[in-house]
């Protein structure tokens, strides 16, 4: 399955260059060895949450209120882990909030000083959890 590698490449491409059309992106991917049409690029962008800002594709800004609560980013590490970066010293506080959400897909969380590890059962759960956390912190 090359969807994941392709989407990773898309993320790199849009941060490296200003890309204004999906067709353009599709061509760049072809050059990198991916065989893909505009249709799929459209769906990829949707799944990655990439939107057009000022005529170019980019990752949406971080919800500012999340930052207010100390949460800076959510990244995946493999299929079973989500790593949350927080402002220094606030990881525990953020983790408490996350635990309080009582998300059933979360197997467990551990907080350090500025990092939280969130264990999940698999790929799908990972997606769901990230979505739920952002939703809650984005208020």
Partner DNA sequence: CGATTTTATGCAAAGTTTCTGCATAATCAA
Partner DNA sequence: TTGATTATGCAGAAACTTTGCATAAAATCG
109 contacts which partner out of a second copy, DNA, none, CB within 5 to 8 A by kind? a second copy
What residues contact residue 10 under an 8 Å CB cut-off, 6+ apart?
25, 29, 41, 44, 45, 48, 50
Taking CB under 7 A as the binding criterion, the range among 45-53, 72-80, 88-96, 110-118 that sits at the site for DNA is: 45-53
- In angstroms, the CA 132 to CA 126 distance is 10
Q: Rule CB under 7 A: say whether 32 interacts with DNA.
A: no
Out of 21, 62, 117, 127, the only residue in the binding site for a second copy (CB under 8 A) is 117
Q: Rule CB under 8 A: say whether 71 interacts with a second copy.
A: no
Q: Rule CB under 7 A: say whether 131 interacts with DNA.
A: no
Under 8 Å between Cβ of 86 and 71 = yes
């Amino acid at each position: 399955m090359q969807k994941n590698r392709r989407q990773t490449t898309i993320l790199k491409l849009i941060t490296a260059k200003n890309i204004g059309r999906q067709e353009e992106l599709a061509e760049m991917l072809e050059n990198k060895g991916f065989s893909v049409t505009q249709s799929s690029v459209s769906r990829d962008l949707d799944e990655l949450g990439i939107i057009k800002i000022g005529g170019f594709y980019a990752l949406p800004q971080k919800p500012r209120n999340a930052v207010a609560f100390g949460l800076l980013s959510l990244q995946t590490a493999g299929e079973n882990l989500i790593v949350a970066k927080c402002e220094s010293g606030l990881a525990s506080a953020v983790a408490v909030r996350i635990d309080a959400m009582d998300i059933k897909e979360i197997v467990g969380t551990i907080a350090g000083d500025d990092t939280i590890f969130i264990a999940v059962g698999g790929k799908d759960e990972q997606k769901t959890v990230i979505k739920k956390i952002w939703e809650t912190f984005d208020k």
